[in-house]
Structure 1
């Protein structure tokens, strides 16, 4: 009992800390700190010049669309052709693609990453999976009106997937819990033996590692690619783009999460 209570408390603290710690990997925060440091160094011209150069270099790297695209291409797992996926018992759709806090709560608001949903539906329609397991409660620190899993189940039913083909896991807050709670759900459905794991390509490394760590061996099906095709010899490929800062933040957050999970033995 004491061990269970400890694990629950640790999971809660880990969830909160992971959300706060994410601010440390915001390039916009780094840029602001560099600018503030540059302004505060007005009494030390040599130091100020150094900080100004560092700020310019940081901006050149941080806004370069080609560099961040190459980074995503190196990190994301490659796309898997639909025809290579043999029929499986179920597909596991990881949430994190809807905005359950958004009001009014009379519809479902999809966010970046909706390819996870559409690719899952495609696998079902193509006969590659018989059941769809939606794993995820809410990844927000604030209490949501309803779970992401239930939101996505509503959309699947609107798309014609019968209710009996949808299984919900509504308590997970992170990838580690996705794996643990999906395994617990499968214990109630012994007929489901083979799985396809559908999540974003940048997230697939951590997700597949977590599922294998708890004894599940799903077939990975990366979706929601944040990379574009490579165009190394096009000058437009290397042009600055303000959105690159956000893309760097997203990728650095995922890589840090993966390394943290590795350190804790979660994946």
Structure 2
């Protein structure tokens, strides 16, 4: 039930959905004072949710900072990649692989593997979509492994965990695999999107696994003080702002439930 509700709320809690809800309420309410308040609230929401500068500042505050590869002196035994948005949900042949917006989650560990800074790569995550909403054609875990192998990672250095549907399960199932294979070592580097790293670290800590964060796929950018970024609402900011709000709420829910 938790998994189902979390995926449904993914669509319900979008800033655009909330803005439309408040606007529709303002249109249909009979109370003049409430109508005025709701219309003002709608304008405020459009400015805040659609403001590139505000959303970017939010990501800068929330994201876990980047790690420089030069700081990694001793190699890590296993690099753990959390799936989610690395491979496009586009139907194709078994040999077709289309990368998506968080491909940096596997690009960074690939670079470190090539530099000898991680010995093996574990990819964790199964099908995370609800078929009643959409069908998943991505096979993200398997195709990421296929792509890494084609790019030079030895098949014997790839470990797949294909059951996890959320961050909590990523941590618990990964911990289970690594405890059963002590020969893999005990020094782990965790790769996920920078804005998702807080929740991920908490989940792995709860699972009893000590990992070092290596943030990827940053959404924050360098500050830009232009009229368009400071004043003009942007649909892109609405889209990115949703991910920020969703992640913060997700982190809070996980904390309340004791998952992280």
**TM-score, length-scaled by structure 2:** 0.91
Is 2:81 the counterpart of 1:58?
no
Is 2:242 the counterpart of 1:254?
no
Match runs of 1:50-199 below 5 Å = 50-85=37-72, 86-99=74-87, 101-106=89-94, 107-142=96-131, 144=136, 147-192=139-184, 193-199=186-192
Gap regions ≥5 residues in structure 1: 1-12
Residues 115 and 223, structure 1, Cα contact 8 Å, conserved in 2: yes
Residues 97 and 114, structure 1, Cα contact 8 Å, conserved in 2: yes
Is 2:11 the counterpart of 1:23?
yes
Residues 87 and 143, structure 2, Cα contact 8 Å, conserved in 1: no
Residues 98 and 108, structure 1, Cα contact 8 Å, conserved in 2: no
Secondary structure of the 1:17 match is helix
Query: Distance between the aligned counterparts of 1:53 and 1:145, measured in 2?
Result: 43
Query: Distance between the aligned counterparts of 1:46 and 1:208, measured in 2?
Result: 46
May I ask how many residue pairs the two structures share in their alignment?
253
TM-superposed deviation, 1:234:
4.3
Secondary structure of the 2:66 match is coil
After superposition, what is the alpha-carbon deviation per residue over 1:210-253, rounded to whole angstroms, capped at 9, x for unaligned? 1111111111000000000124x544441432111111111111
After superposition, what is the alpha-carbon deviation per residue over 1:97-139, rounded to whole angstroms, capped at 9, x for unaligned? 2456421243223221111111111111111100000111111
Residues 176 and 266, structure 1, Cα contact 8 Å, conserved in 2: yes
Query: Distance between the aligned counterparts of 2:257 and 2:89, measured in 1?
Result: 30
Cα RMSD (Å): 1.8
Gap regions ≥5 residues in structure 2: none
TM-superposed deviation, 1:72:
0.4
Secondary structure of the 2:195 match is coil
Residues 100 and 144, structure 1, Cα contact 8 Å, conserved in 2: no
Residues 86 and 104, structure 2, Cα contact 8 Å, conserved in 1: no
